[in-house]
Amino acid sequence: MKIRTTEAIIFGFVSMLFASCGSVKVVSYQTPDTDFSAYSSYSILSNEYFSANNIQERDKLESAIINEMDNRGFMFAEKPDLIIGYQIVLGAETRVRNDQQFFPFFGSFYRFNTIDVDRYNEGILMVEVRQKKKVLWQGSLDLRYNSRSKTKKDIHELIALIFREFPSPVDSTENLDN
């Protein structure tokens, strides 16, 4: 798998987020003995790999992260307890499948080959919560996308899927007015 970090690839990943297929896998890790109730504020380390053409997509990602942290009772701050970073890793894959079938044909066998080539993109969106240099929690979402995928997911939905694994639950008093 080749990993690229060009503007076109980042734009492609953000497009992939919006048109992702149903195969979404979330993985998370928490540093043992981390008590998130001891923390109250956060800030986001903005990702500088987004070009001027992709600032809107970066803002959507950051807005979704802010929404998830705010719903859990954390406050955005200039001097935070926690720093949240995110990273996008992309790659293109090709899967080739060769099916051989044999049919009887006048006393011998006729071999019929079917070659199926499936090209798809893979992407990982990773969110990391740190205290200074120590990683306290990390969640990632693996996506596989091809041009035939029709299901659309909003970036907020995908970030929400990652944050379902976050050890601090959603503050239920936050949404009582809705």
Print the domain residue range for 82: 1-26+51-87
pLDDT in tens, the chain (178 residues): 444 444 444 445 555 544 444 557 888 999 998 899 999 999 998 776 666 666 777 888 899 999 999 999 999 999 999 999 988 777 777 778 887 777 777 777 777 777 778 776 777 888 999 998 899 999 998 876 554 444 446 788 889 999 999 987 666 444 444 4
- Confirm whether 150 is domain-assigned: no
- Confirm whether 128 is domain-assigned: no
| pTM reported for the whole predicted model | 0.66
Please give the angle made by the CA atoms of 63, 149 and 6, to the nearest 5 degrees: 55
- Confirm whether 12 is domain-assigned: yes
- Confirm whether 166 is domain-assigned: no
Q: Any idea which residue has 């990702």 for tokens?
A: 47
Give me the pLDDT at residue 168, please. Answer: 78
- Confirm whether 92 is domain-assigned: no
Q: Domain count of the chain?
A: 1
Give me the pLDDT at residue 114, please. Answer: 78
Give me the pLDDT at residue 152, please. Answer: 46
Q: Report residue 10: phi and psi, to 5°.
A: -65, -45
Spatial strand order in the sheet of 82-105? 24-30, 134-145, 108-131, 82-105, 41-45, 75-76
Give me the pLDDT at residue 170, please. Answer: 67
Q: Note whether 118 and 141 are within 8 A (CB).
A: no
Tokens of 95: 């899967």
- The candidate with the shortest Cα–Cα distance to 155, out of 66, 49, 27, is 66
**Residues 6 or more apart from 32 whose CB is under 8 A from it?**
none
Q: Side chain identity at 165, as an amino acid letter?
A: E
